[in-house]
A = this chain, B = another copy of it.
Amino acid sequence: MIRTAIVGYGNLGRGAECAVVNSADMELYGVFTRRDPSTLKTLTGCPVYSMDHILDHKDNIDVLIICGGSATDLPVQTPALARHFNVIDSFDTHARIPEHFANVDAAAREGGKCAVISVGWDPGMFSLNRLYAEAVLPNGKDYTFWGKGVSQGHSDAIRRVEGVEDARQYTIPVDAALEAVRSGSCPELSARQKHLRECFVVAKEGADKARIENEIKTMPNYFADYDTTVHFITKEELMRDHAGIPHGGFVIRTGKTGLNGENSHVIEYSLKLDSNPEFTSSVLCAYARAAARLNSEGAVGCKTVLDIAPAYLSPCSGEELRKRLV
C-alpha cells in the first residue's frame, strides 16, 4: 500500500481524498492544513494534522499530494516539502514552469526524493498529448482549445467589478475554429477566433447593469480580446444552474507524412469533465503512485509527466498491462 497524504483542503484536496480512497493500492494517511485542524471536517473522516508538524510524520508517508494554488502556495510549498517527501503538485503557471522545476529539482535531489510538478490536465494530460503528437507528426501544427468550462480566474475578475455580487464565466471554443483546425488547413487563429466568453452575472441591487456589462467587455487581458456575452441573472439562478465546475478542452494536431507531405493526418484528444478539480486530482493521484514507485526504485529529482513511463501510473503489473491494454 502506498501511504498518501494530502496538503491543503480546498476543492482539489477534497478531490484527491476521493481519488486516493478509491485506489485499491493506496492508503489515505490524512490531510495537512494551515488552518486549525479541529475546525476541519473531511469527507471521509480521515485524520487532519497541522502543517506545522508535518515533518514529524515523515516516516509514515510515501507521497504527498500538494493541493495548494499556483500563485503563492506551490512556489514555496513544493520545494520546501520536496526536501523531505516524494511530492506531486499541479503548478499551472505555464510561463514559470522552468523556474519552479529548477527549484523543486534542487530540493528533491538534496533530500533524495522524487517530485512531479505540473500534473493535471493542462498542464498534464494535454502536455502529454502535445508531445506525443509532435513526436509522431513533426511536420505539423498543434492547437489547444479550452472549454466549455468555468474559468475561475475570469469569474474572479468579474466579481471585482463594482456592483457585481457574484459571477460565473464560461470559456467556450469556437466550433468554426475547431473545424478549420481539423480540416488540416493549419489556420492562424487569434484569441477572438478560438474562444468565446460567456458571463453569468448577479448584480447588486440598484447597480448600473449597462456600466457593468461595458466594464466586463472592455476589461484588458481578460475580455477585451474576445467576443464576450453577459447575462444578468438572479442569485438563485446562479446557484441552481451554475453551481458545478465543469471544464475540458481539445488538443488537436494535424500533420503531413510522405516524401513530400502527400498525406494528411489528424490526432485529436479531448476531455469533457463534470468536475475540473476532481479530474485534476485523479491525475494527481495516478502520478502520486508513479512518484512513490519511482523513488522506491532509486529515482530522485524533479520530473514532469513527460519524464514518466506510462506504466508507472497503473497499479497493474507490466505483464497484465501487455495482455490487456497493449
Question: CA A313 – CA B283 in complex, angstroms?
Answer: 22
| A92 to chain B: closest residue by CB | B326
Contacts of A271 in B (CB 8 A): 265-268
Complexed CA–CA distance, A270 and B94 (Å): 26
B259–A44 contact, CB under 8 A? yes
Instruction: Tell me which of B123, B136, B322, B325 contacts A98 (CB under 8 A).
Output: B322
Chain B contacts of A138 at CB under 8 A?
22-23
Q: Is the CB of A264 closer than 8 A to any CB of chain B?
A: yes
Question: Which of A49-57, A127-135, A192-200 forms part of the interface with chain B?
Answer: A127-135
A320 to chain B, nearest CB (A): 10
Interface residues of A in 36-61 (CB under 8 A from B): 43-44
With A97-B322, A325-B306 in contact, is A257–B15 under 8 Å at CB? yes
CA–CA, A43 and B257, complex, Å: 14
* Residues on the B chain within 8 Å of A15, using CB: 257
**Interface stretch of the complex, out of A75-83, A165-173, A273-281:** A273-281
For window 1-27 of A, CB contacts with B under 8 Å fall at 15, 17-19, 21-23
CB pair A326–B22 under 8 Å, yes or no, is no
Q: With A305-B310, A322-B98 in contact, is A272–B265 under 8 Å at CB?
A: yes
Is the CB of A314 closer than 8 A to any CB of chain B? yes
Q: How far is the CB of A253 from chain B (nearest CB, A)?
A: 11
**Given the complex of chains A and B, what is the CA–CA distance between A257 and B283 in angstroms?**
11
A203 interface residue per 8 A CB criterion: no
Closest Cβ of chain B to A250, distance in Å, is 9
Q: Which residues of B contact A136 (CB under 8 A)?
A: 125, 279, 282-283, 286, 313
- A residues neighboring B (CB under 8 Å): 15, 17-19, 21-23, 43-44, 94, 97-98, 101, 118, 123, 125, 127-132, 134-139, 182, 257-259, 262-275, 278-279, 281-283, 286, 289, 304-311, 313-314, 318-319, 321-323, 325-326
